[in-house]
Amino acid sequence: MSLREIRRWPDPVLAKVCAPVEDVAAVRTLVDDMFDTMYAAPGRGLAAPQVGVLLRVFVMDVGWKEGAKTPLACINPRIVTASESLHTGDEGCLSIPGVMAPVTRPDSVRLAYTDMDGTAQVVDLEGFAATCAQHEMDHLDGIVTFDRLDAAARAALLAEYEAQA
């Protein structure tokens, strides 16, 4: 296992839609590396395009900073249902370090995915876990937090991000 370079916005790979994974066994090393990279960053979620791989894979662990690790690897994930109730919260992104963006998302989602054993799974996520999964799903569709903002908020956060560079 090894650490991979995290791509930073405006790297063009972050704007591309990812391809489905055909062979789960073929992404085992990628997933292991993504967990190592995410924990080292330190983050709570990481999608394959953030490490330059255009496959529909993301990893997350929303509670590890507060307690025990609960890693979740999602291959070919899709949101089956999303709540009508919404929440707006500040989201950070390992590909846009130092910027917190206010993003509105459903409070809860039902996520279907394939696990590392090749088994189909469905999980209901709420609160921060739902937000994290939706954020990582965005990456698989070529969307970053800047894309979720209105023009004024985007301009302000872009200026903040560029000032840090």
In CATH, what number is assigned to the domain containing residue 151? 3.90.45.10
Distance of alpha carbon 115 from alpha carbon 165, whole angstroms: 37
Residue 28 lies in a domain: yes
Number of folded domains in the chain?
1
35, 65, 72: which is closest to 51 by C-alpha?
35
The residues that bridge with 121 in the sheet, in sequence order, are: 113
Q: Model's pTM, two decimal places?
A: 0.95
Q: Is 136 a catalytic residue?
A: yes
Over residues 9-30, the pLDDT tens digits come to 999 999 999 999 999 999 999 9
Residue 50 reports pLDDT greater than 80:
yes
Residue 59 lies in a domain: yes
Residue 66 reports pLDDT greater than 90:
no
Residue 7 lies in a domain: no
Residue 33 lies in a domain: yes
Catalytic position from the list 5, 136, 160, 162? 136
Distance of alpha carbon 27 from alpha carbon 98, whole angstroms: 30
Over residues 102-127, the pLDDT tens digits come to 999 999 999 999 999 999 999 999 99
Containing structural domain, residue 72: 12-164
